[in-house]
Chains A and B, each alone.
Chain A
Amino acid sequence: QSVLTQPPSASGTPGQRVTISCSGSSSNIGTNTVNWYQQLPGTAPKLLIYSNNQRPSGIPDRFSGSKSGTSASLAISGLQSEDEADYYCAAWDDSLNAWVFGGGTKLTVL
């Protein structure tokens, strides 16, 4: 059971916009910033969004993040086949003194 809650799956067609939610608590998302990671099959995770809504260099602006209270969301617009991957949210938890991750959302591009 993950500390952060994500839907196990999401899907969309090419060009569509999809969102993935991440729910936490006051000790993690409610207090600290949220990161999002993309993990393509057989590869290491890659930072997609940091500090709730910031994109590292090289990440397309099709990817965006937001946070409100104890929840966060990742939005992917103009969906492409290469976006098919697992997506994870993460935040530092002040009560656990630990990074906590969501269980991951498998995105399928139909």
Chain B
Amino acid sequence: EVQLVESGGGLVQPGGSLRLSCAASGFTFSSYSMNWVRQAPGKGLEWVSYISSSSSVIYYADSVKGRFTISRDNAKNSLFLQMNSLRDEDTAEYFCARGHSIDVWGKGTTVTVSS
């Protein structure tokens, strides 16, 4: 079964950092690009970042550029999102999602930025 499981969310103060992880199973992780997508409470979906299968191509939403860093470890079937200089507006459920067509989603991990 194809599965994505996020972890690493939590409560952090404004200006703080957090590192999210996504463990992939049930498919050849190294063959797929990956994405992070977030959803603020009661709001719609917002794409955050994309990384190609070999990490050679990376894109970020303007709202996180310069603060967030996406990376992956194909040997460990894992995707990461390093989030620095966190702001109140980064509070959201963060989903990892597979592929250039975003066809499979994890269940998400909650990030709350508050003092």
Tell whether, in the assembled complex, residue A101 and residue B101 are in contact, meaning their CB atoms are under 8 Å apart. Answer: no
Quick check: is B50 within 8 A (CB to CB) of the other chain? yes
Choose one: A35, A50, A103; the contact of B44 (CB below 8 Å). A103
Q: Is there contact, CB below 8 Å, between A88 and B45?
A: yes
Let me know if A110 is at the binding interface, CB within 8 A: no
Interface residues in B14-69 by Cβ distance below 8 A to A read 35, 37, 44-47, 50, 59, 61-62
CB contacts (< 8 Å) of A102 on chain B: these are: 44
Chain A residues closer than 8 Å to B107, beta-carbon distance: 43-44
Chain B nearest CB, measured from A8 CB (Å): 10
B45, closest chain A residue (CB): A101
Most buried by A among B100, B102, B103: B102
Q: Which residue of A lies closest to B106 (CB)?
A: A44
Find B47's partner among A43, A56, A101 (CB 8 Å cutoff).
Answer: A101
Closest CB in chain A relative to B77 CB, distance in Å = 19
* A19 shortest CB reach to chain B, Å: 19
Mark contacts of B75-86 with chain A using CB atoms, 8 A cut-off: 1 yes-contact digit, 0 otherwise. Answer: 000000000000
Chain B residue with Cβ nearest A92: B100
A88 contacts across to B, CB distance below 8 A: 44-45
The answer to the question of A45 belonging to the interface, with a C-beta cut-off of 8 Å to chain B, is yes
B102 touches A47 (CB 8 A): yes
Bound Cα distance A43, B106 (Å): 10
Nearest Cβ in chain A — how far from B92, in angstroms? 13
| Residues of A contacting B44 in the complex (Cβ-Cβ under 8 angstroms) | 2, 86, 88, 101-104
Select which of B47, B95, B100, B101 is within 8 A of A98 by beta carbon: B47
User: What are 8 contact pairs spanning A and B, CB under 8 A?
Assistant: A44-B107, A45-B37, A47-B102, A47-B105, A50-B101, A56-B103, A97-B59, A98-B47
Q: What are the nearest 8 A-B pairs in CB distance?
A: A99-B47, A104-B44, A44-B105, A101-B45, A97-B59, A103-B44, A47-B103, A44-B107
